[in-house]
Structure 1
Amino acid sequence: MHLIMITPAQPGSKAGNRATAERWATLLESAGHSVDVVTEYHGEPCDAFIALHAWRSVDAIRHFRETWPEKPLIVALTGTDIYQHQHEYPEDTRYSMGAADALIGLHDLVAHDIPAGFASKLVTLNQSAEGPEAFPAPQADLTKECFGVCVIGHLRDEKDSLRAAYAARLLPKDSKIQVFCAGKAHNEAWHNKAEREMAENPRFHWLGELDKTRTRQLMANSRLMVISSVMEGGANVVSEACRAGLPVLASDIPGNVGLLGRDYAGYFPVGDEQALAGLLQHAETEPAFLESLKAQVSNLAERFLPEKEQASLEQALHLAMQRCSQGR
């Protein structure tokens, strides 16, 4: 099939939507399809259309549906679609959901958080990541000097990006925990907050935006990863941590629970640096707790294999084609 996939993220962007689009294009091409990844759509013909982001891609979705009413349309739901835009901009976001022949959700609890009428066209897809063989060896000097905790993702409100830094301020003086944050500041306010936190908090280090090689080295050097988001559609960095065997401390939001499972031992309440500080201290001082988290993420690793993500993409394509052939 000839597929067109639209993403709001420009070529060269390290935004999650761009990484997802490029990974999906690779997986679909390896399955025999041809894929054009675009940021604007002007009515070009294709066998099926895939839109990343229900709200941000709504104009393209309308154009495609009006131009090609009988063609299959797949819409991938992001965290902001589900937990923000369907409430702030319900007309546009739910138009995209309704127009789609298949919806892709990125964690197991998405069905609970979208209108019930859309559940029949929802396919759950776990984003994949490369395995431990793709990661370098830890840098021994760094790992001896400190107990490294990484935070990976662009600095913005949805990620609550400095929560681990605030938690680190509450740790005992003899703690060796150091927080390393990798990501581009969303705006000048976030840039200033990160710079100020570094100046005031000797446990916090903002590394800016890193390429894939340096990000993997950071993960290899770390004993823990913190994902403190207030909303997530299903963060790929969680998949990467599980595949790498890197323990995670996660905010207890649906987007994290839907990936790690309800019985995961490393959750803390959203925005609660006191609870996060307690978990960080527990992980540093109780090796058995850290090992239990490592065992849990390692047991989840097979959920995030590339071949399983590819199969879910094919499932979404098949569902969309089937609904089209049945007149929806």
Structure 2
Amino acid sequence: MGGGTTAVLQLASGLRHHSVSVSIATQQGTELVSTARSLGIVVHELDFSRRAASLFTSRKVQAVIRATKPSIVHAHGARAGLPCALLPRGLGPAIAYTVHGFHYGNKAIGVRTFARWSEWLCIAAAQAVVFVSQSDAALASKDGLLGGTTTSHVIYNGAAQPGAEGPPRAPDHDVAFIGRLHHQKNPLLLAEIARLAPALRFLIVGDGELGPALRQRVRELSLQDRFTFLGSLPHADALRALTRARCMVLPSLWEGLPMAVIEAMHLGLPVVATDMPGLREMVVENVTGHLVPSGNAALFAKRLSGLAADRARSSAMHAAARSRAAELFSLEQQIGRHAALYRGMVAAARSRIAELAA
């Protein structure tokens, strides 16, 4: 599962400990469906795959709302937010909308305009909007996406701190990449980084449409002995695999507040990532890792090689990463702030009803 999906699952599961009853409406046939049901969460399978069909999907969401009568509908991302924005007014529940990163700036001009308008509509229809980073909140304000009736909140994504599983295992790789092998993550740059840093060994966790191209490039450069491909793994196994490396790399072209970085920091891995707004709130330069200009394979190679060679410095970053993750990106903090948000939304809705009745 991707970071946004993981965040939704963790939130839905954790809120039950705050006496919040949660069900999930999500894309049919996905891993989220089976995983959520295995945790005892009620799941409604819908088709969110086509944004052009958002009005049709909205009718399906409306049927779920009429059947379950929730106090709050919380949409995560524009693919879910747009059908919720099209719900008839006065249906009943208050609407919250979480922006898991604004990505319209990376799209072609025509598509960019529609994507930006979609975000504006999702925010305008919500009583509360949640940003997962300060930078997204600032961008929404700068681009005029915030309306006068919507309250805004910045709530960082969180992850559970890993429990002890016996004595620590000595890393057998220098660098780990975890995520989808997709254009956004820029995985082909990994082969170029390896070409420029001949001492580094890479562990690749995840797969995707660029998986064959990355494997082919690794073969062309004769780097097979320095790459280990584990493919897609269940979440817990993927995190265990991360501990086999000394640091994590993320050469993405765009990101919001990536869950993989939060989880790596909780494990104490220094992170070398592309320098972009959301990641600047996570990675402290030369303290918990490094930020590198987009696509700069030579500097990625230099920073990763430096961490692999200087074990004392890497160890200091290990402690700093865990400390920063515990302070800013704890799962308990994320869940508690959402529970407080929901209580405030319900109280505000009751107050409005009381005013209308008076």
Choose from 172, 192, 217 the match for 1:197: 217
Secondary structure at 1:294's aligned position in 2?
helix
214-223 vs 195-204, which deviates more?
A: 195-204
How far apart in 1 are the matches of 2:284 and 2:345? 28
Q: Per-residue displacement from partner, 1:132-171 (whole Å, max 9, x unpaired)?
A: 325565554xx3xx54211111111111123233211101
Secondary structure at 1:113's aligned position in 2?
helix
Match in the other structure for 1:285 = 309
What is the CA distance between 1:282 and its match in structure 2?
A: 0.9
TM-score norm. by structure 2 comes to: 0.76
Q: Per-residue displacement from partner, 1:279-302 (whole Å, max 9, x unpaired)?
A: 011112222331332232122022
Unaligned runs of 5+ in 2: 27-45, 47-59, 353-358
How far apart in 2 are the matches of 1:109 and 1:134? 34
**Structure 1 segment 171-250 matched on structure 2, within 5 A:** 171-172=197-198, 175=199, 177-185=200-208, 187=209, 190-200=210-220, 201-202=223-224, 203-250=226-273
**Structure 1 residues 154 and 245, CA, compared in 2 at 3 Å: closer, same or farther?**
same
129-138 vs 196-205, which deviates more?
A: 129-138
8 Å CA contact 2:189, 2:295 repeated in 1: yes
Q: Per-residue displacement from partner, 1:255-285 (whole Å, max 9, x unpaired)?
A: 2112234675511111111110010111122
Structure having greater relative contact order (Cα 8 Å, sep ≥ 6): 1
Aligned length: 302
Q: Does 1:71 align with 2:93?
A: yes
How far apart in 1 are the matches of 2:272 and 2:313? 12
Secondary structure at 1:181's aligned position in 2?
strand
Choose from 330, 335, 339 the match for 1:310: 335
**Match of 1:238, as an amino acid?**
V
8 Å CA contact 1:102, 1:319 repeated in 2: no
RMSD of Structure 2 on Structure 1 (CA)? 2.6
8 Å CA contact 1:124, 1:312 repeated in 2: no
What is the CA distance between 1:322 and its match in structure 2?
A: 5.8
**Structure 1 residues 263 and 72, CA, compared in 2 at 3 Å: closer, same or farther?**
farther
- The percent identity for this pair of structures is 21
What is the CA distance between 1:112 and its match in structure 2?
A: 1.9
How far apart in 2 are the matches of 1:105 and 1:286? 37
How far apart in 2 are the matches of 1:262 and 1:74? 34
Match in the other structure for 2:355 = none
**Structure 1 segment 1-328 matched on structure 2, within 5 A:** 14-39=1-26, 40=46, 41-43=60-62, 44=65, 45-54=69-78, 56-64=79-87, 66-68=88-90, 71-81=93-103, 83-84=105-106, 87-116=113-142, 118=146, 121-133=151-163, 137=167, 139-140=169-170, 143=171, 146-172=172-198, 175=199, 177-185=200-208, 187=209, 190-200=210-220, 201-202=223-224, 203-261=226-284, 264=287, 265-302=289-326, 303-321=328-346, 324=349
Match in the other structure for 1:11 = none
Which is higher, the Rg of structure 1 or of structure 2? Answer: 2
**Structure 1 residues 135 and 320, CA, compared in 2 at 3 Å: closer, same or farther?**
farther
Match in the other structure for 2:38 = none
8 Å CA contact 2:77, 2:99 repeated in 1: yes
**Structure 1 residues 22 and 266, CA, compared in 2 at 3 Å: closer, same or farther?**
same
Secondary structure at 1:126's aligned position in 2?
coil
Q: Per-residue displacement from partner, 1:153-209 (whole Å, max 9, x unpaired)?
A: 11111111232332111014xx2x211111120x3xx13212213323232333210
What is the CA distance between 1:15 and its match in structure 2?
A: 2.6
Unaligned runs of 5+ in 1: 1-13
**Structure 1 residues 260 and 320, CA, compared in 2 at 3 Å: closer, same or farther?**
farther
How far apart in 1 are the matches of 2:75 and 2:271? 30
What is the CA distance between 1:222 and its match in structure 2?
A: 0.8
Secondary structure at 2:61's aligned position in 1?
coil
Q: Which runs of 4+ in 1 moved over 6 A?
A: none
Secondary structure at 1:109's aligned position in 2?
helix
TM-score norm. by structure 1 comes to: 0.82
**Match of 2:13, as an amino acid?**
T
